[in-house]
Amino acid sequence: MTRKTRIRAALVTATALVTAATVTAGVSAAGPEKSRSSEKPSKKQIAALFDGWNAALQTGDPDKVADRYAKDAVLLPTVSNKVRTDRVGIVDYFHHFLENKPVGKKVQTIVNVLDSNSAIDTGVYEFTLTDPATQQKRVVEARYTYEYEKRGGTWLIVNHHSSAMPEG
């Protein structure tokens, strides 16, 4: 092997090593970042989003409740025939609903985590409502579906359907 051939072989080997190291470093750097961004939340984490929503109800502030919804969310509420498709409509609904001092409790929940940024929580919940005039309490059972999306790192409700049980 001539000196020129040895130099050329050394250069090819060095280039191959640098390329391999660069590709490996790139894969390593992308790997954890990619896996972090694609990590799915647990079903328990998604189910707990209801607790935050229910706590917002307890404040009595319709704006705090509306903060749990994406700005393009759709609300099909339990005790209104109006479909709410914007923040103004959602705040309006909760302004009236909160007059009954609702306290929610899940009876049955089924969570489907779709991916790292979306999930569905569906099932049955009940609300203890207090009549503002008589202070009498009553319990209303309803079916629910919450569709959540993670936007800007925050889980928000993008779709919420709630309806009284048809046989109740």
Residue whose entry in the numeric block shows the structure tokens 């940024």 = 117
Instruction: Count up the domains in the chain and report the number.
Output: 2
Q: How many Å apart are CA 42 and CA 119, to the nearest integer?
A: 10
| Residue whose C-alpha is closest to residue 75's, from 65, 63, 55, 90 | 90
Owning domain of residue 80: 43-164
* Burial degree of 134 (CB within 10 A; 0-12, 13-18, 19+): exposed
Name, in order, each residue with C-beta under 8 angstroms of 64's C-beta and a sequence gap of 6 or more.
56
Q: What is the largest CA-CA distance in the chain?
A: 103
Chain-centroid distance of CA 37 in Å reads 15
Domain shared by 57 and 117, yes or no? yes
pTM equals 0.76
Q: How many Å apart are CA 49 and CA 74, to the nearest integer?
A: 17
Give 107-152 pLDDT, tens digit per residue.
Answer: 999 999 999 999 999 999 999 999 999 999 999 999 999 999 999 9
Q: Which residue would you say has higher pLDDT here, 116 or 6?
A: 116
Average pLDDT for 62-73: 98
Domain shared by 69 and 57, yes or no? yes
Name residue 122's amino acid. T
Domain shared by 17 and 49, yes or no? no
Domain shared by 75 and 24, yes or no? no
Domain shared by 91 and 111, yes or no? yes
| Residue 151's CATH number | 3.10.450.50
Give 19-66 pLDDT, tens digit per residue.
Answer: 333 333 333 322 222 224 468 999 999 999 999 999 999 999 999 999
pLDDT at position 167? 82
